[in-house]
Structures are given as structure tokens and as C-alpha cells.
Structure 1
């Protein structure tokens, strides 16, 4: 990392403009554990320092091209452009600057102008000249709306070369569509976006300075969920192993009473190939999830996986509270069917990881007429996108319909194409017509069969559990 980048991060920490111990609402409506507020640089000393850092970054980004003039994108760029011009002058580069008014000036020097000079109605500072190379400045890059608008304004003033857009911090996030807004801007405009530092730079700095007041683990989870490919490469893959053994049976404990659940917990506690117990809304809403987990802990050390039937179908904001409630109740993992769209999926996965919960993602259900191709409501490609997004984040644990082998094959192909080494959890056996052995052949080595009524409603829970584990 270049020295000026490290010094900038240190300065951000010293001025408390960089915060890494909280929950910060972004313009994108995402809830981030880290935030940089360039607006905190609002006095002479801090603006001077900020201008110097912008100057370092711009000189590095334009080493092989000329800088004729600087342009501050309204409104944050208005102060930045003057500070950066001073910073460049200190480095031996006397570069003029300007910004544009939101409303054209209609008095004084802007009146009675010849057409060629009408740009003075918009420009504050040095008026740009056709053919000049303009370096644009702003504080951050979110969706990019203000950047496209600023570019249109410049193009209305003349013909200019726009090689670089300089920002303070690149958060390296994808948009709702899963694409990097910066990469899309660069592709569409040909302008390079250069930042003083990126999220990856901050991550690397914090790894090397563990005593800094910054929660690196939370930032890591956030970057895995919302980060670009480059950001995810920086933090590495999600290391999550839900069940230690590669194959097991998971009783689906959708029973009406605590006595029934207690019997299942007791009778399966010492069966090695029982990988976990899955509990749902019936027990959770009837008795309270904390009491359900507490009772299970008295009899078994098996993992407790909570399946809300179906979690991930609400707005993004509820993901935080859902994860907090599950963590407080003591469950080990959660199952999501994120049918409310990509932002809900990312938010719920992030908040679950943030709470230390293990995440399992599904999308294709076992009953007839679920997907459009089966006569249902949910588009097949939309279902596959749920799995695709989870796999990109680094989730490797997926619920698939054990009675729909063709669907399993499609899901397997999709997640493996994203670099996942999948572990599959499959319901849909016995009562719903699926065959454990056949499903296991399709999914491969790592497979956990979810069996409900065939275990919970038989006369002998233990005997049934042993029978189905033998089919693995």
C-alpha cells in the first residue's frame, strides 16, 4: 500500500471521520458497520490535509496524462476542488478549478454575454476551454446519479477530455443488480474512477493494526455480502461448516408439543448420523424459541437450525431483528428462502453472519406448482438467482427439493459455476415422494436429508431415525 494511503487512513481515524463500531445507514438504504464521513472535513486545517491527499491520488492517476483544470461535482465537490487545487500547487502543479451552479446565474457577469461565453452563467471559478482535460472530484461514489448528471453538464458546456473522476473512498460495493456502480460508470463513459483509498485498503490497514478502534470482523462480513469481486478476493472466502460430517439426516421437528420435541431430542442424541435438529414456527410461536432451544440443550448437543417457513420474504430492515432474535434464542443456524429480492437476500444473510449464525439458503420448494415451469408463481430464473447470489457471497449450504431431481441438477450447476463447493440439504422424502438414495446420487458427496413426518409421526422415533440414516 502506498504511504499516502496509510497516512490518509490514519488521518481518518484521528479525526474520527472513519467509524467502524456501529450501524450506519447509507444512501443505498443498506446498514453498514463502517462509514467514512468526508463532511467532517469542514475547517481550514482538515480541508488542507484532505486536499493534499486528493492531490497525491490525482497525480498517481494522471501520471501519463495532463491536468488542465479541476471540476468539483456539486455539492460536496465545491469545497473539495479548491482544497485539491491548493494541494496540487504545493506539489508544484498550479491547476485552476471550477464548479457549476445548480441554477444558472442571471445577473452581473453572466448578462449580455455572447453565446460562446454563456458558460459563465453556470461556472464558478475558471471557465473551461474546449479541448481541455478536466479532472472531476467528488467525495464518494454510490449509485452514480450525480456523476452522470455532472458529466452531462460538462458536455453541455463544450468538448472536453474527462479522463479521471477522483473520490476519497471507494466502498467497493455492488448495486441491487449485483454489478459495481463504478465499473459500470467506467464502462459507459470511459472515465477512470480513482480513489484515495478503497475498502480493501482499509481492510488491509486494519489487519495490520488490530488495536485500532475498528471491528474488522463485521467489516469482513459486510464486504463478503455486498462487495465487488475484488473486495471479496481481499477478505477471502466464507469459512462456514454447518455440520461436521458430510452426510446426515436432520429430523424436521414440526410437531405440536414440547413433549414430542423432547422425545425426538432424547431418542436421536447419540445417533452419529443425525446431524442437527430443525425446528420451525409451530414450536417457536407456541412456546417461545428460547425455551425450545433450552429444552433441546438439556438432552442433545446436536445443532439447532431454525426454519421460519419462510424467512427472507420481508423487507431488508427486518433481517437485523430476525438475526438478533435467533442469536438471543441460542439457535446455531438459520434457513432463508429469500423470495423478496436480491437486497433482502443480501441484508438477511449479512445480519445473520453479523450475529455469528450459520446460514443455509433455499429457493425451490418441494410441493407441486411452485415454479413457473411447474405451473406456479415463482420464475425459474428468479429461483436460480437466489442460489446464485448466495453462492457469490460464499454460502455453500443450500436447501434443495429432494423430490425434484432435475431442479437439484440445475441448482448444482448454478452454484458450482460461482465457485461454490456445495453442501445440500434436501426435504421432500417419503410423504412427498422423494427417495433419499436417489437424491444423494444427484447432489454428490455432501448431503443432509431433512426428514419430517416419517420420523416424527411414527411409533418409534429412534428406530425410524436409524433406518433413514442407514440409507445415506
Structure 2
């Protein structure tokens, strides 16, 4: 991803798509960390075939452009499951057919049993998820992948909030993405970042959307990281 979000056409197209789909909303929202955020991103609202298919195109485009090497996809339960499946379909359509797997929250004691479903987890694994708030889901996925004898190699997310994570109720000096990159050693690629959202709002300064730029920028100044 380029350093300047203003030059990232894919990111700008994605932000517009998320806004039009009602996935990216503006107002006042309480985050898991207890912060009042002026925007909210809910990937669960990519809730029909057309939206999910378009989302998968953005993921696949960003993944392939990143140059990250991987052998398969992994979708953490629950949101990561349809994401991994949809991205696998889109990658195959683009000529990069790879297997995928996902986990259950609870192990089955019948049938195939266990917590992992899908292709055997092996090689370099790319985890597909929506956002990272604290890196908890990534750590859980890493443990499952390693337990299966594979290598957790990278994570692909839709939006990097570029926001300080919290540790024991206090702001950490790093974001969840920075933590996963620097502490856990995985590559991370995001379709878009908060910087891209800010640029989008700035471009639309003369429209209704533009009124949110100042609040999102103030939030970034207070909690920003990465």
C-alpha cells in the first residue's frame, strides 16, 4: 500500500463502497475500548451477495498487489468464515486458486470432530478478517494454525483503524496492526486505513459527508497510532 492514502485509488473506491453500503457510518459510537468514536465500521452489513462479492474483489486485489506469499486462507470464526470463502472464490476467478479453512468456536465430538473445518491447514497461512481492535482474534488464529503444524504468515483486513490498542484498560503506544506486525511477526495488508477515510472526507468537504472530517481528524489526533 502506498504511504499516501490520497494516491491509493483502491482504498478510495473501497471507502466509497463502504459508505454507500451503510457499512461505514458516522455519528457517535462506543468502542470496545470505551472510546466515543465518530465513525463505525460494521463488516457484518456486507449482507447480500452483491456486496460480499464486491468486498471479495477489494480483498483479492489488495492481497495480490501486496506481494505477500501464501499457500492458503484461514477465516477466524465468525466474521472471517464468509470472508475467507468469498475471497477464495474471487482469487480463483483471478487465476490464484488456493484452499481455505476456518475454525469453530466449539469442537465437535462427532463426524470429523475438532475445531478446524475445510482444507488441511498447512504451509504459509493468510488469515482473513474484517478489522483488528486488539489483535486478540489474530493471536487465537495463530495458535490454531501453529497447533495444526502450519505457519501463520500474514493477515488481510478490510480497515486499519490506525488506533491505539488498549492493555489492561490503558492506551498502548501501538495499534493492533503494529502489534501483529512487530510483536507477532506477521505481514498485514489492509484494503484501506483511517488515513484513506480522512482523505475521502476531505475530498467531499463541500458535501454532507465532509462535515465529519473535523471530528474524525480530532479522534485520530487523540487516539491515532500507525
| Correspondence 1:17 to 2:23 | yes
What is the 5 A alignment of 1:178-189?
178-189=173-184
How many residues get paired?
213
Higher-strand-fraction structure? 2
Listed as ranges, the gaps of 5+ residues in structure 2 are 1-6, 166-170
What is the 5 A alignment of 1:310-349?
none
Task: Flag the 1:177–1:4 CA change in 2: closer, same or farther, 3 A.
Answer: closer
Corresponding residue SS for 2:95: coil
| Correspondence 1:4 to 2:10 | yes
What is the 5 A alignment of 1:288-303?
none
Number of the residue aligned with 1:128: 121
Q: CA deviation at 1:53?
A: 0.8
CA distance in 1, matches of 2:175, 2:14: 24
Number of the residue aligned with 2:155: 165
| Correspondence 1:81 to 2:84 | yes
Contact in 2 for aligned 1:206/1:212 (Cα 8 Å): no
What is the 5 A alignment of 1:59-208?
59-61=64-66, 63=67, 65-110=68-113, 121-129=114-122, 132-160=123-151, 162-175=152-165, 176-208=171-203
Q: CA deviation at 1:26?
A: 1.1
CA distance in 1, matches of 2:65, 2:208: 28
Deviation string for 1:186-238 (max 9, x for gaps)?
A: 1221102211000001111221222252510111111000001x5xxxxxxxx
Please, which of 215, 223, 226 is the counterpart of residue 226 of structure 1?
A: 223
Q: CA deviation at 1:134?
A: 0.8
Contact in 1 for aligned 2:125/2:150 (Cα 8 Å): no
CA distance in 2, matches of 1:6, 1:92: 25
Greater Rg by CA: 1
CA distance in 2, matches of 1:42, 1:125: 23
| Correspondence 1:213 to 2:209 | yes
Listed as ranges, the gaps of 5+ residues in structure 1 are 111-120, 231-472
Deviation string for 1:249-278 (max 9, x for gaps)?
A: xxxxxxxxxxxxxxxxxxxxxxxxxxxxxx
What is the 5 A alignment of 1:25-44?
25-44=30-49
Normalised by the length of structure 1, the TM-score is 0.44
Normalised by the length of structure 2, the TM-score is 0.89
Number of the residue aligned with 1:53: 58
| Larger RCO (CA within 8 A; separation ≥ 6) | 2
